[in-house]
Amino acid sequence: DAKTTQPPSMDCAEGRAANLPCNHSTISGNEYVYWYRQIHSQGPQYIIHGLKNNETNEMASLIITEDRKSSTLILPHATLRDTAVYYCIVRVSNSGNTPLVFGKGTRLSVIA
């Protein structure tokens, strides 16, 4: 079962920051937080992941609370192409040898 809780849907105005929350209150010390998104009818796309520290890449920023029980994915300037289902996933290994367990995700709609 998924170990995360996300709101089922969110709207965001184009050009504004999209902040997607995720609760993972039972996360263990060696578990990473991963974010993926799935644009309609495509395979999931990796966005970002982190263990303790905040992370940033060309797509997004990941803010993890100090107690690691929740995190926020930030898309700094949302565009219509960011409309997708976003999945927050907690998993132990960073090695590629254990599967991702998907929850229901958040459906983000970016509105012009």
Partner 1 sequence: SAVISQKPSRDICQRGTSLTIQCQVDSQVTMMFWYRQQPGQSLTLIATANQGSEATYESGFVIDKFPISRPNLTFSTLTVSNMSPEDSSIYLCSAGYGYTFGSGTRLTVV
The residues that touch partner 1, with contacts defined as CB under 8 A, are 34, 36, 41-46, 85, 87, 94-105
41 Rama sector, left if φ>0, alpha if ψ -120 to 50, beta otherwise? left
Alpha carbon of 90 to those of 41, 63, 99: distances in Å? 24, 14, 11
- The two structure tokens encoding residue 48: 């970002």
Beta carbon of residue 61, minimum distance to partner 1 (angstroms, whole number) = 18
Quote the least distance from Cβ 104 to partner 1, whole Å: 5
Q: Report in angstroms how near the CB of residue 97 gets to partner 1 at its nearest.
A: 5
Judged by CB, which is closer to partner 1: 10, or 14? 10
21 vs 44 by CB, closer to partner 1: 44
Strand order of the β-sheet with 45-50 is 9-13, 106-111, 84-91, 32-38, 45-50
Residue with Cβ nearer partner 1 (9 or 65)? 9
